[in-house]
Amino acid sequence: MKLASFLHQDIRSYGIVKAEGVVDLGRRLGDRYTDLKALLAADGLDDARCYAEEAVDLPLEALTFLPVIEHPEKILCVGMNYAEKRKEFDQHNPAPTLFVRFPDSQTGHNSPVLKPRHSSEFDYEGELAVIIGHAGENISRDQALAHVAGYSCYMDGSARDWQHTWFTAGKNWPQTGAFGPWMTTADEIPDPHQLAIRTWLNGRMVQDDTTASMIHKVAELIEYISTFTRLSPGDVIITGSPGGVGKKRNPPLFMHAGDRIEVEIEHIGHLSNVIMDAPERALTAAF
């Protein structure tokens, strides 16, 4: 089952995605589960499945896709988690490299990704996103995948010239992280490490790998992260990017206004966004 969050005629909703459109679960379940995160928190996936065979309510082209989980409590990102990426950056630390994204740095499928005005090195990173379905802490590795609700695509846009000893400033500009187009539920992905993952910039394939190349696997990451913070339904773990990023190409290859960036993960989905320059931001008045 594929589940998406979306806007239709300025109304927020969520639903089951089919080839011909979406079954609007907000109409059917919204009084019980206000959004997809609430559905996961209440263990409501079986309630959603009751509507999986119904006729679609809306065509996909009528939707404005939102980030799959619009307001996660946590977005935890893993850096340097593919063998080729570690080679590119000469990374040798054996422990997982973690950083955070803020929910307001995200955007949805087919919405603009905003190039920060203060960056001239806006880079692409295609990644597998893991969406937590069941809460837990100190989760053992052999039980970790039972806590996963599903998987999605993520384009972790990175302002490289704002990444220093800590990644936060390079990762949290508004609308730089694209998340979607939908979540494929975990029952359809028995092994998250047997998936092709590819990224295209303007139709040119720039990343081509498989999730088998992850250094730290999904279950290991859940075990590690849940040791120091409780994971909640709707939390997102972005599991790292393969090699081929623009920063390490010769010459470097960065994203600019008008570019199209796409991330496809086998059996999950195809995320597509156009780059736009971020608008000028008004100065905040002092009080």
pLDDT at 80 (0 to 100): 81
Total domain count, the chain = 2
Spans in the chain with pLDDT lower than 70 = 85-88, 90-94, 164-166, 282-287
Q: What is the pLDDT of residue 105?
A: 97
Sequential DSSP letters for 97-141? EEEEE-GGGEE-TTSPEEEPTT-S-EE--EEEEEEE-S-BSS--G
Q: Which of these three, 65, 88, 108, is where a domain ends?
A: 65
- The 10s digit of each residue's pLDDT in 216-239 is 999 999 999 999 999 999 999 999
pLDDT averaged over every residue in the chain? 94
- Cα–Cα dist 127/165, whole Å: 22
Residue 175 shares a structural domain with residue 250: yes
pLDDT for position 83? 73
- What are the residues facing 209 on neighbouring strands? 197
Q: Is 142:259 a contact under the CB 8 Å cutoff?
A: no
**218 and 116 in one domain?**
yes
pLDDT the model gives residue 262: 98
Residue 96 and residue 6 in one domain: no
Give me the pLDDT at residue 176, please.
97
Q: Are residues 145 and 189 in the same domain?
A: yes
Neighbours of 12 (CB within 10 A): 15
Q: Which range marks the domain in which residue 84 is found? A: 75-277
Say what the pTM is.
Answer: 0.94
Residues 29 and 47 in one domain: yes
pLDDT on residue 122: 97
